[in-house]
Amino acid sequence: MDQQNPICCHTGGKKVLMFLIGIAVIALIVYLGLLARNSWRSFDYIGKTPDIQDRVIVTGEGKVTAAPDVAVISVGLVTEGTTVNAAQKQNNDKMNSVVKAVKEEFKIEDKDLKTQNYSVYPKYNWDNGRQTIIGYTVNQNLEIKLRDFDKAGDIIAKATSLGANQVSGPNFMIDDIEQFRAQAREEAIKQAKDKAKVLADQVGIKLGRIVNFNEGGSDYYPVPYYADSVMGMGGSLELKSVASPEIESGSQDVTVNVSISYEIK
């Protein structure tokens, strides 16, 4: 009986083992190559816009008209003096009188009064090429917020009678405008959705899910009306000897525009 050669078996087993190791190494190299390729492709598409699916875009507009509930008036004082102290004292005395009258006579609360600006700057004179200071100018502005519009004209007249020489406003606005924007937005979205349904029926398509939404809009603030006898076209303001100006608050339009994108099934 022939006996199996142990050296031959050992050599054959070693070749099989080396063959299997070689296949495993090749498979590993191929796998790592595929990973690298996929990673590179993923990196290559970073920042690029993905393929856009078929979709339809519709727009809608909602508008709500509301009456302003707040008016803002700016009352200013410009005073001059030969010294800083003299100009400041004159300005402060007049402004304090205005603030006192606004609080006591018109019952305006502290929270509705705010100093907008207080500045002091020198006045110069040029003589023979030389610049010299000949005095100082003080400018101060007080913002007054009103919720009773009937007081607006009387406050302007009172402030100017006490020395105010700069008046702007009233600017009318809505204190809590978000509630009206929400109403306008709801109207705009409904209009856009209704338009999308009509369009889908007319074109013969089926709408899928909403994939994009954009919103924009504007608020139109009314321009106040002043009696012609009070505000001159030249910009001068002479209220000491005339009646309080007639002011109408008007109304304010709150508009919201929306854009809705649907997938097409």
C-alpha 175/C-alpha 69 separation (Å) is 6
Checking if the pLDDT of 32 tops 80, the result is: no
Looking at domain 52-68+175-265, which of 3.30.110.170, 3.30.1370.160, 3.40.50.170, 3.60.20.10 is its CATH number? 3.30.110.170
Checking if the pLDDT of 2 tops 90, the result is: no
Q: What is the mean pLDDT of residues 143-159?
A: 91
94-133 residue pLDDT tens? 999 999 999 999 999 999 999 988 999 999 988 888 888 9
pTM value surpassing 0.85: no
Q: Determine whether domain 70-173 maps to CATH 3.30.70.2970.
A: yes
Dihedral sign (CA 223, 227, 228, 234): negative
Number of neighbouring beta carbons within 10 Å of residue 207: 17
227-256 residue pLDDT tens? 333 333 333 344 444 455 566 667 888 999
Checking if the pLDDT of 11 tops 80, the result is: no
Q: What is the mean pLDDT of residues 26-39?
A: 73
Q: Which pLDDT does position 100 carry in this prediction?
A: 95
Q: How many CA atoms lie within 13 A of 51 on its CB side?
A: 2
